[in-house]
Amino acid sequence: MALRLLLEKAVGENCSSIDDGERILNLIRPELIKGFTVELDFEGVKLVLTPFLNTCFGNLLEQFGREMTMTHVSMRNISDELLQRINSFINRKEEEFSQSHDQKILQEMFDEDGLVDFSL
Q: Nearest CA to 94 among 58, 68, 70, 63?
A: 58
Identify the pLDDT of residue 66: 87
Degrees to nearest 5, angle at CA 2 with 80 and 12: 50
* C-alpha span between 16 and 70 (Å, rounded): 21
Residue 100 has pLDDT above 70, yes or no: no
Number of residues written out for the chain: 120
Residues in a beta bridge with 14: 47
pTM beyond cutoff 0.85 = no
Query: Using one digit for the tens of pLDDT, what is the confidence trace for 49-61?
Result: 999 999 999 999 9
Domain locations in the chain? 2-83
Segment 91-110 shows an average pLDDT of 70
Query: Using one digit for the tens of pLDDT, what is the confidence trace for 25-71?
Result: 999 999 999 999 999 999 999 999 999 999 999 999 999 988 999 99
* C-alpha span between 106 and 112 (Å, rounded): 10
* C-alpha span between 50 and 63 (Å, rounded): 18
Residue 104 has pLDDT above 90, yes or no: no
